[in-house]
Amino acid sequence: MNNIESQTSVNIGVDVGKANLDIALHPSGQFYTIPNSEAHIRRFIKILKGYSIERIVVEATGRYEHALVQACDQAGLPIIVVNPTSVRRYAQAIGVLAKTDRIDAQVIARYAATLKPELKPIPDKISQKIKDLLVRRSQLLEMTTMEKNRLQILPKTLHRSIKSLLKILQTQIETITRQIEQEVAKVDHWRIKMEILTSVPGVGKVLAYTLLSELPELGSLNRKEIAALVGVAPINRDSGKLNGKRRIRGGRHRIRTVMFMAMLSSIQCNPMFKRFYEHLKDQGKIPKVAIVACMRKMIVVLNTMIKNQEPWRQQMT
């Protein structure tokens, strides 16, 4: 690497695999392949520090990108995790249909340079641990639901086996829940936010934990931005004289899923959301649309409460 290369701003795309990381630099065209291990990542970061980096972009793979993301964040490098669908659509838009590890890395680098995705805070170790625990808790709940369904349809001769597994799953869920509570208690700002969020009737611990781990921007954005980020802001579908139906799109699916379940409880126990829901129903809104509108109202209220550092007040109803 010469001095000119080190002074030129570069955007870096990383195609993540279980075994290897394929890394492309734009616009220089340089390309590297390194093993996806902590030791090799540390060594490569020392090389990257010799460049003037605008951003490093990596697709969310579910797990395999974590070592790279954490190492870059700790080294102060601008690492951004993006939705793979966004990158694929960009590739199609620029006419790249072929797909190899090298091409994918180059496309991600061009995506970084062209669309300039926004830097977002990377979860710290405790946040990531809580997020992992929440994912595991959701998996256990899904398995519990499947076993309960089997209890309804399988013969009684198999009920003993199913009930035995259900007991094990319930024990695991309780253990995971206690671990989540212990991790939250370790961090003052998490504990304070937790108290604020759960002060709202209908907002339980699971929703609060999910918001804390999946939505670190809560309290720092305006009402439109936070609703769009979660994916509960209706998107216009108008063209010429056509006025299409507005629908929600994008956002953070896991948050919406947990919020939807929480809202089913909130419209029963929280006077504000109950009145708002009934008002929407009276206007002719179907139940699902009314619930999504209530979710939008909820995230806006929670965002304001966190921003102002104030708990729920009865006057809000």
pLDDT digits (tens, 9 = 90+) for 259-281: 999 999 999 999 999 999 999 99
DSSP state string for 180-222:
HHHHHHT-HHHHHHHHHHHTSTT--HHHHHHHHHH-TTTTTS-
CA distance 13 to 219: 31
36-40, 212-216, 275-279, 284-288: segment of lowest average pLDDT: 212-216
| Mean pLDDT on 190-219 | 90
Structure tokens at 291: 């619930």
DSSP state of 58: E
Better-scored residue on pLDDT, 190 or 100:
100
Better-scored residue on pLDDT, 244 or 69:
69
Buried b / exposed e along 87-110 (16+ C-beta atoms within 10 A) = bbebbeeeeeeeeebebbbbbbbb
- Alpha carbon dihedral 195, 201, 206, 208, in 10-degree steps, equals -40
Helix (H, G, I), strand (E, B) or coil at 16: strand
Q: What is the pLDDT of residue 186?
A: 84
Q: pTM for this structure?
A: 0.69
Are the C-beta atoms of 15 and 22 separated by less than 8 Å? Answer: yes
CA distance 252 to 220: 17
| Percent of the chain scoring above 70 in pLDDT | 91
Q: Is the pLDDT of residue 239 over 70?
A: no
Q: What is the pLDDT of residue 174?
A: 95
